[in-house]
Amino acid sequence: MVNAFAKTSAKAEVIVIHDAARPFVTGDVIGRAIDGAQAHGAAIAAVGVRDTVKQTGDPSPDGSRLIRATIPRDKVFLAQTPQAFRRDLLARALSEGVEVDATDEAMLVERLGLPVHVVEGDARNIKITTLDDLENARLEGDGVSRRRNLMRIGNGYDLHRLVAGRPLILGGVTIPFELGLDGHSDADIVCHAVTDAVLGAAGAGDIGRLFPDTDPQWKGADSIALLKGAVATIHDAGYRVSNVDVTVIAQKPKLLPYLEAMRANLAAALGIDAGAVSVKGKTNEGVESMGRSESMACHAVALLEALRS
């Protein structure tokens, strides 16, 4: 520490010391330590203990210890870094405490009889010392990333022409009608819109990139199967589907008798409860190609949530 301190600028008012082994420190904790040092001369980040604290004697031959006292836990704090000091105070502590066996710089200041104040630390500001700590840090790092992206929203849209000689398949349900939707796969616009919404929310591309219509293996493909593939993709990205909302625009046939079956199929493909799936049918009031029964379209919105470790 003495060598590092010698490299600091003499113009610095406050010196902040932090363990490289604490990678999850936040700007708020650093700010509180600096403010504390400016106000009081010395301040360290620390967290209060949540468990009852026992003071014990030395271990007995069988490894057990005898409790000597119960320490009020509201008086006990676990020291973290950063620790911040006015430069002149730290310089004195280092010069006068070189021979002192201290576990942190705050102890050197304490040995001078000078006050060190505690500011609020952060329970996530963990120190990596052992292999177990490293594994916990990996989980914590993953958790931090996910907490920053707990929920993601995506929207999808698809439209296909209605033609003779094709089955009409919506949401995995084959609906009796004289026309069907034209497309490379089974042209299920409901599944296609939901697939794009799910992929878009995860930032994982779209159905055209995942299942291109230039690839013969997707010729006549079951779009429910394609949707399941998209769900597997977003799972790999760390997300699951929370709910979807779907609007199908079709002048005819009437879709009401088939909506519940569509919901059930979508829910099964998405791996969620049917109550988290909404499917609505709307006409286009006779306007444009959808209103003339020349085409059908579908809008979908999907909400994703981060998978928990």
Q: What is the mean pLDDT of the chain?
A: 92
Identity at 91, one-letter amino acid code: A
Q: Cβ of 285: how many Cβ atoms within 10 Å?
A: 9
Q: Set out the domains of the chain in order of their start, with CATH numbers.
A: 2-142 (3.90.550.10), 149-306 (3.30.1330.50)
Q: State which H helix or E strand residue 83 sits in.
A: strand 77-86
Spatial strand order of the sheet with 277-282 comes to 179-181, 151-164, 295-306, 239-249, 277-282
Write out the DSSP string of 231-294.
HHHHHHTTEEEEEEEEEEE-SSS--GGGHHHHHHHHHHHHTS-GGGEEEEEE--TT-HHHHTTS
DSSP 58: P
Query: Given CA atoms 7, 13, 19, 20 in this order, what sign does their dihedral have?
Result: negative
What is the percentage of the chain residues whose pLDDT exceeds 90?
Answer: 79
Give pTM, 2 decimals.
0.56
pLDDT in tens, 235-265: 998 899 999 999 999 999 999 999 999 999 9
pLDDT confidence of residue 96: 87
Query: In this predicted model, what pLDDT tens digit does every residue of 15-71 receive, in sequence order?
Result: 999 999 999 899 999 999 999 999 999 999 999 998 999 999 999 999 999 999 999
What is the predicted pLDDT for the residue at 309?
A: 44
pLDDT tens digit sequence for 149-172: 678 999 999 999 999 999 999 999
pLDDT at 149: 60
How far apart CA 121 and CA 84 sit, in angstroms, is 13
